[in-house]
Amino acid sequence: MSKLMVLSLILSALLVFNIIYLSAAELQLFQHAAKADGSLSLLVLGDWGRKGAYNQSQVALQMGIIGEKLDIDFIISTGDNFYDDGLTGVDDPAFYESFTKIYTAPSLQKQWYCVLGNHDYRGDVEAQLSPVLREMDSKWLCLRSFIVDTEIADFFFVDTTPFVDKYFTEKDHNYDWSGVTPRQSYLLNLLKDLDKSLKESTAKWKIVVGHHTIKSAGHHGNTQELNSQLLPILLENDVDLYINGHDHCLEHISSSESPLQFLTSGGGSKAWRGDVDWWDPKEMKFYFDGQGFMSVEITQTQVDIVFYDVSGFVLHKWSRNKQLHSTF
């Protein structure tokens, strides 16, 4: 065997090792301290990046007002950060025009934790994940899947777009799958790492964030791939909230199977689709087919959820209490 062939085999083996190692890497963990009294407050926004159009700027204005009142610690984006086709690169002016230029209120100059949506996958995914954008605007942080540990609550951010079969077959749009293939290995490792991280979590509250719906009465409805692959893991690990975007509405659905609540905050800009499917009234707690956002306040014993419309009016409130210490 020639030296060239041996070298080629070694390089191939190293490449395979690196692919396996990277795909099996555990979810990246970020620490974000709660307030001195142990409480936490944040805003949740989804489906927003339209350079201020479709009431994006008005929603941003109200977010700034509510964010100041609640003294928020950070903001969550549930994806579809840049319409219609993500970013073209790190130098795409849409990043400034749809993000930095819009969310200017002092209260919103906190860390933004962002996941990717299906529209983001139509552009240069690596651009949104790039540290170059963090250098351009320090509040931006977007990764495929990761964890934010606040001690009082753990937030598990999940890259949901690769779960959806139709994106791999439709011919109308091109998707950037460069960091996802081989798809099945990517999904299996993600689910394994999420399950492991949820089981290891000692936080009082467990909250999972993704772009796509699990339960929804909106335009897109339920995402069957998440119902079959992701939902069982959430139920098994006693997740308290699943927060998503994708449907351009505000929505709260309870679960008859567990205490798990499904919360949609996808009203960051274009909304008012006008197509709502009937849902079991025992589970459907709230639906608003319009623009707005959501706040979450957390203490050791209570979570408070509030939905606001584009004018800052309160549309819906929900709370859950837990005992400070578990009883056996």
| 219-236 pLDDT per residue, tens | 999 999 999 999 999 999
- Domain limits, the chain: 27-321
- Using the predicted structure, report yes or no on whether residue 95 has a pLDDT greater than 90: yes
Q: What is the pLDDT of residue 323?
A: 86
Q: What is the pLDDT of residue 325?
A: 67
d(CA 232, CA 218): 22
Is the CB of residue 113 less than 8 Å from the CB of residue 106? Answer: no
Which of 210, 264, 268 lies closest to 50 in space, CA to CA?
268
Cα angle: 195, vertex 196, 198; to 5 degrees: 65
d(CA 50, CA 87): 12
The percentage of the chain sitting over the pLDDT mark of 70, rounded to a whole number, equals 91
pTM value? 0.91
d(CA 110, CA 137): 11
Which of 238, 293, 233 lies closest to 265 in space, CA to CA?
293
- Using the predicted structure, report yes or no on whether residue 327 has a pLDDT greater than 80: no
Q: Which CATH superfamily is domain 27-321 in?
A: Metallo-dependent phosphatases (3.60.21.10)
- Using the predicted structure, report yes or no on whether residue 273 has a pLDDT greater than 90: no
Helix (H, G, I), strand (E, B) or coil at 243: strand
Q: How does residue 326 score in pLDDT terms, banded at 50, 70 and 90? A: low
Q: How does residue 9 score in pLDDT terms, banded at 50, 70 and 90? A: very low
Could you report the per-residue pLDDT of 115-156, keeping only the tens digit for each? 999 999 999 999 999 999 999 999 999 999 999 999 999 999
Paired with 205 in beta bridges are: 153
Q: Which two tokens stand for residue 243?
A: 């927060």
Could you report the per-residue pLDDT of 281-319, keeping only the tens digit for each? 999 999 999 999 999 999 999 999 999 999 999 999 999
Could you report the per-residue pLDDT of 104-120, keeping only the tens digit for each? 999 999 999 999 999 99
Q: What is the pLDDT of residue 162?
A: 98
Q: What is the pLDDT of residue 222?
A: 96
Q: What is the pLDDT of residue 214?
A: 98
Q: What is the pLDDT of residue 15?
A: 41
Phi then psi for residue 120, to 5 deg, are: -65, -35
Catalytic residues: 220
